Amino acid sequence: MIEYVIDDVNHLIRIWMTGSNRCANLAAHYSRVLKDPRYDPTFDSLFQIDGEADGPIVTELGEVKMLLEMVAQCQAATKWAVVIPLGFKRTVIEFLLKGVELKSVTMRFFGNEADATAWLNVGRTSLITAWDHDAMQRALLNAANSSQNSPSAN
């Protein structure tokens, strides 16, 4: 399950990923976030991922990389903090996401929320950029559809 809260006070999108997820779930998540009237492309993201070693999303990290690259291109945010306990799942995710091209977004992994929040607050600035919301929606829907139709999704 993927849930989120838009934290206006801290200029963050807080995301929780638990249990077993697929790339299509992540694409649907971003589609919901982008439709949210409170969404602000300048907000940084704080991902909290459980440490369970199961879930097909781990085997779909190539597709996840492409999805994250698309999302990063349309955001003015500069930081994505990922909180995930040390262990096999974190090691695999960090290794497979090393080559992701996030343009102006920096993604870092942390073992706890306090360290992630401290990093997010360093040099906090407000960035405003123009981006094409409709094009992003289409890209996310295409990513979700292609993930569902891929051999690994069956």
Structural domain spans, the chain: 2-153
pTM here? 0.74
Model pLDDT for residues 111-143, shown as the tens digit of each residue? 999 999 999 988 764 433 334 455 556 666 666
Provide the pairing of β-strand 12-17 with 44-49.
parallel
Model pLDDT for residues 53-109, shown as the tens digit of each residue? 456 777 787 888 889 888 888 888 789 999 998 887 788 778 777 778 888 888 999
How far is 5 from 38, CA to CA, in rounded Å?
10
